[in-house]
Amino acid sequence: MRQTVFAALCLGGTAFLAACNGNTDAQVQRAVKDVNVIDESNLNDIMLTVGDPNESVRYFQGALAKDPGRVDLMRGLAKSLVRASKPTEAARVWEQIIASPEGTMDDKVLLADAYIRSNQWDKAKATLNTIPPTHETYDRYRLEAMIADSEKNWKKADSFYEIAAGLTTRPAGVLNNWGFSKLTRGDNGGAEKLFTESLKYDPTVFTAKNNLVLSRAAQRKYDLPVVDMTQTERAELLYTMALAAIKQGDVSVGKGLLQQAVDTHPQHFEAAARSLAALDANVGN
């Protein structure tokens, strides 16, 4: 029992490590370094997931100033720059990582992502083309689908979206993107199905709800879909539907939906009220 307690004390801190029989100064330093690495790794993870993105950028820039060339810190900086809506700067960091011996295929995927975010589609495509087909990841195929979309290669886009959706347990985002792709092509029924499926995986995403309403309105389905929504969301979705109806020439339907939006919103719905007033004025003239 005494030996167990003594062993625990030996692992408790630097002072106890130095006092333990059989431990040299070198062993003590290695142990302390290991603890510091664990603490630093935890802090790095925290900085990537919480707090202000710009603060995260400053943290990793400071860490790299003290320890230049560390690829794990460079990855942290690049991801933080993306979070801070600075994809062009992030791409430059990813390029350095790719050029280093520690660069990986996943780093190339993230470089392509940064290129797309900074509207450098040709570079994104060229980067993905350097990745072997055996590297099958959700992010890789999600980006491949987006590039195929940008080139209006619908068959290839559908194939990549389907593969990406099958490679993740949280496909809501890629299903929403796929649905929006269908919407831009005029396949409103196909879009509606994908938006509905997306909301089954994550019923909280308002963008998918709004897109679903747009796809239904394009088919002149002017009733709200049966999905979870707050009262404010209901009003905003009615407003979206109203504008779509008016754009399609269904003015009387749109006017009624605008009135419903105004009546439904728990507070004053300025945008809907203004649209309704403008519509009344135009009808009066």
Residue 171 in any domain: the answer is yes
Residue 88 in any domain: the answer is yes
pLDDT of 30 reads 46
Residue 254 in any domain: the answer is yes
Looking at 177, 197, 226, which one is the last position of a domain?
Answer: 226
pLDDT of 283 reads 62
Tell whether 35 and 89 lie within a shared domain. Answer: no
pLDDT of 249 reads 94
Give per-residue pLDDT as tens, 52-96. 899 999 999 999 999 999 999 999 999 999 999 999 999 999 999
Tell whether 140 and 214 lie within a shared domain. Answer: yes
Asked whether the beta carbons of 144 and 115 are under 8 A apart, the reply is no
Looking at 197, 226, 255, which one is the last position of a domain?
Answer: 226
CATH no. for residue 220? 1.25.40.10
pLDDT of 192 reads 98
Residue 56 in any domain: the answer is no
pTM score, two decimals? 0.80
Ranges of the chain with pLDDT below 70: 1-41, 50, 283-285
pLDDT of 24 reads 56
pLDDT of 169 reads 96
Tell whether 148 and 72 lie within a shared domain. Answer: no
Give per-residue pLDDT as tens, 159-185. 999 999 999 999 999 999 999 999 999
Tell whether 191 and 169 lie within a shared domain. Answer: yes
pLDDT of 147 reads 97
Asked whether the beta carbons of 121 and 115 are under 8 A apart, the reply is yes
Tell whether 35 and 72 lie within a shared domain. Answer: no
Residue 55 in any domain: the answer is no
Tell whether 148 and 220 lie within a shared domain. Answer: yes
Tell whether 3 and 85 lie within a shared domain. Answer: no
pLDDT of 50 reads 67
Tell whether 240 and 210 lie within a shared domain. Answer: no
CA separation for the pair 115, 123 (Å, rounded): 6
CA separation for the pair 100, 141 (Å, rounded): 24
**Total Cβ atoms within 10 A of residue 72:** 15
Full residue range of the structural domain in which residue 146 is found: 136-226
Domain count, the chain: 4
pLDDT of 150 reads 95
CATH no. for residue 122? 1.25.40
pLDDT of 49 reads 76
Tell whether 121 and 149 lie within a shared domain. Answer: no
